Amino acid sequence: MLARLMSKGKHHIYRLKDGQAVREGVERRHLFNLVIRETGSEDTPYLARWKVVVSRSGIVDVEKVEDNSVAKENT
């Protein structure tokens, strides 16, 4: 569903290959910050955060950024 909302255009980058400048087409990437808050039978909620990089073709990368409880942040 999100892929339809992303721009279709390709961008170009230039890099050196064998001393020549080479033009390559690349897809645009988008970054989402995903935050999960879990509350259960424990007293303190649990927070986890991921950076998700996506393109129109699909998920490119997922990186866990932060992992802690709310009580740690408030002290």
- Joined together, the tokens standing for residue 45 give 């909620």
Query: What is the pLDDT averaged over residues 3-18?
Result: 80
**Structural domain spans, the chain:** 2-74
How many Å apart are CA 50 and CA 48, to the nearest integer?
A: 7
Residue of 41, 39, 14 lying closest to 25 (CA atoms): 14
- pLDDT tens for 15-24 read 999 999 999 9
| The predicted structure's pLDDT at residue 38 | 85
- Separation of alpha carbons 66 and 43, rounded Å: 20
pTM value is 0.60
3-state secondary structure of 31: strand
- What are the structure tokens assigned to 72, written together? 């740690």
Task: Say whether pLDDT at 71 is over 50.
Answer: no
Better pLDDT: 56 or 13? 13
